[in-house]
Amino acid sequence: MAKKLIYLDHAAATPVDDRVLRAMEPFWQKEFANPSSIYSLGNATRLAVDDARESIAKILGALGSEIIFTSGGTEANNLAILGAACGATPHPHPNPLPQGERGNHRRHILVSAIEHHSVLEPAMALKKEEFDVEILPVSKDGLVDPEQAVKRVRTDTILVSVMLANNEIGTIEPVQEIAKQIAKKRKNGFPIVHTDACQAAGFLPLDVRKLGVDLLTVNGGKIYGPKGVGFLYHRRGVKLDSIIHGGGQEGGVRSGTENVPLIVGMAKSFELAQTEGVKSGKKLSALRDELFKGILEVIPGSFLNGHPVDRLPNNINVCIPGIEGETLVLYLDEAGIACSTGSACTAGSLDPSHVLRAIGLSSSQAKSSLRLTLGRENTSDEVKYFLKSLPGIVKKLRTL
């Protein structure tokens, strides 16, 4: 048994940075007022929210008014997909018209096959409302082909959503090139380009003007910030319909009293992620390569899922034939190692990962895969302990 827990599931959640905790501390008890209040105590919390908004906007190369605070990545993705679709088609036609005869009734949405469920599920909900939802295929490495994406754009396409980096296999998508090519076909502001940057925010620069995106999602819980908070970058001029109605906060797009301590914490964690991400990424890349090389040596026949080069510096997704991934996770947990088979949002599901199936793995291979995601606190000694523990567990599982 390990002397302490070795945590290798940073794609699911990260511990809160001490500097983030210190930034949040005053807003739990001392400065607790509702930021919509007009008295001085409320003004103090409103100023904290405004400062957080401006801090995030500056890093993104955006305007403060283009940042919408949400309860996390899932809500931000839902707002992007549902809000953009309904904003483009305020009065959906009950019977979709043939392509070319739809006039202002835009009904077409493109999403990649490996998106997080918080993008795929709202897209499928729109499909039930007679929207035409098309899935963009990916290569065996998990890449969306920009040319193929652009070829599928139609005159009635509302939105194209391709994540910046995948949460399961770590593949980094050519979002900038996709957005650049789609911009050439844009008419009257459509199609809108959305990217889920929740996993990328800790490692990749997020200049929205360079990326060329109209909507971008970030989740505080993935970047050493608090859980339960996120934001959606919403380019000025892009119409979004609200999906939460009430008091009209966040520029009327997202109602609900702003969670001041979490917003302050997320802004601080986002600042740290974007200023320190490159440095930590270099360290994690070396550790990741040591871990993957070791897995190949101690488990013959195992192989990498995702792109071998264009991937997040902390991500390894490996197929270990002959075992069941979730059972392996439980045995590793007994050895003091925390990891996963994929997205925490689908833990316990009997279905194989849609991401791994999309890159061509069989159902059996997908269920035999393990995701390891490193973080700032991981060490080479922990990697060595993992590599020492893994062969015996795999051998045991293969004999069961």
When pLDDT is averaged across residues 353-382 and rounded to a whole number, the result is: 97
Asked if pLDDT for residue 342 goes beyond 80, the answer is: no
Q: How confident is the model at residue 97 (pLDDT cuts 50, 70, 90)?
A: very low
Q: Quick one: tokens of 364?
A: 């059996």
DSSP 22-91: HHHGGGTTTS-S-TT--SHHHHHHHHHHHHHHHHHHHHHT--GGGEEEESSHHHHHHHHHHHHHHHH-SS
The answer to whether 339 is a known catalytic residue is no
CA angle 59, 64, 65 (to 5 degrees): 145
Among 101, 98, 118, 120, CA closest to 109 = 120
Which pLDDT score is estimated for 349? 63
102 backbone dihedrals φ, ψ, rounded to 5°: -90, -15
Q: Is the pLDDT of residue 193 over 70?
A: yes
pLDDT at 103 > cutoff 50: no
Residue-wise pLDDT for 215-233, tens only, equals 999 999 999 999 999 999 9
* pLDDT value for 246: 95
pLDDT tens by residue, 24-39: 999 999 999 999 999 9
Question: For residue range 44-60, what is the model confidence (pLDDT) as tens digits?
Answer: 999 999 999 999 999 99
Question: Confidence class of residue 92 from pLDDT cuts 50, 70 and 90?
Answer: very low
Q: What is the mean pLDDT of the chain?
A: 93
Provide the pLDDT for residue 99. Answer: 46
317: Cα within 13 Å, side-chain hemisphere: 27
The whole-number pLDDT of residue 400 equals 83
* The pairing of beta strand 192-196 with beta strand 369-373: unpaired
Res. 196: pLDDT tops 60: yes
* Share above pLDDT 70 across residues of the chain, in percent, rounded to a whole number: 94
Where is average pLDDT lowest: 81-90, 119-128, 391-400?
81-90
Report how far residue 192's alpha carbon sits from residue 168's, in angstroms, rounded to the nearest whole number: 25
Q: Averaged over 135-153, what is the pLDDT? A: 97
pLDDT at residue 31, rounded to an integer:
93
What pLDDT sits at residue 88? 84
Percent of the chain with pLDDT over 90: 90
368 pLDDT higher than 50: yes
The yes-or-no verdict on residue 285 having pLDDT over 80 is yes
Cβ–Cβ < 8 Å for 199, 166: yes
Give dist(CA 336, CA 75) in Å, integer.
33
Side-chain half-sphere CA neighbours of 40 within 13 A? 1
Q: What is the pLDDT of residue 101?
A: 41
What pLDDT, on a 0 to 100 scale, did the predictor assign at position 100? Answer: 43
pLDDT at 347: 53
What pLDDT sits at residue 344?
A: 56
- Dihedral sign computed on CA atoms, order 27, 28, 29, 34: positive
| 198: pLDDT strictly greater than 50 | yes
Per-residue pLDDT at 172 exceeds 90: yes
Annotated catalytic residue, options 86, 198, 319, 345 = 345
